[in-house]
Structures are given as C-alpha cells and as structure tokens.
Amino acid sequence: MVKKQNLKKEIKNIISASEIGQYYFCSNSWFLQKNGYIPISKKLDTGNRKHEELGIIIHILEKQMKKARLITLTAYVLFFISIIILLIGVIF
C-alpha cells in the first residue's frame, strides 16, 4: 500500500501528453507551472474566455444537430409510411 504522501509524489512525477506539448512550446513555462507558479496575463485570460465561449457555442451546436437528426429521421419515417399507404391504396 502506498502512503498518500508517496502517492501524491508519484502523481506529481507523471507527465501528461499536454504537458509534453507545453514543454515543447516553452520549457520555462512548463517548469514554473509544474512547481506551482500561476501565470498572470491578460492574453491568457482572454484566451481562456474565448475557449469558454467556444465551448458554449459547440455545446449549443451539438444540441441543434441532435434535434436536426431527429427531425430528419421523423421525416424519413413519415415518407415511408406515406409510400406504404399509397401502395396499399393502389393494390386495393
């Protein structure tokens, strides 16, 4: 069994794929963030805000696409039902 302190230390030593990208972009920034320094920047705040806005827009678009697929499916079902009714009317 691993003690919590050791577990935290082990987790801190794990490097994620996004950290590798951050390190590649700027190793100093990666090092500072890894050691608890929080960057303060207007551009960073603006970027975070834009990401939030884009996330909301994408969420709305996904909901609209789901509704559009449901409407399309309903239209196809109604179309095939009308064809069946038409064929039944022609046969009888």
Residue-wise pLDDT for 14-45, tens only, equals: 788 888 898 898 888 888 888 888 878 888 88
DSSP 24-59: HH-HHHHHHHHTT-----HHHHHHHHHHHHHHHHHH
The pLDDT-based confidence of 73 (bands split at 50, 70, 90) is: very high
Angle, to 10 degrees, between the axis of helix 17-25 and the axis of helix 27-34? 130
Average pLDDT over residues 61-80: 98
The confidence score (pLDDT) of residue 61 equals 97
Task: Evaluate if residue 84 carries a pLDDT over 90.
Answer: yes
Average model confidence (pLDDT) across the chain: 86
Average pLDDT over residues 59-74: 98
How distant, in Å, are the alpha carbons of 30, 33, 58, 75 from that of 18? 10, 13, 22, 44
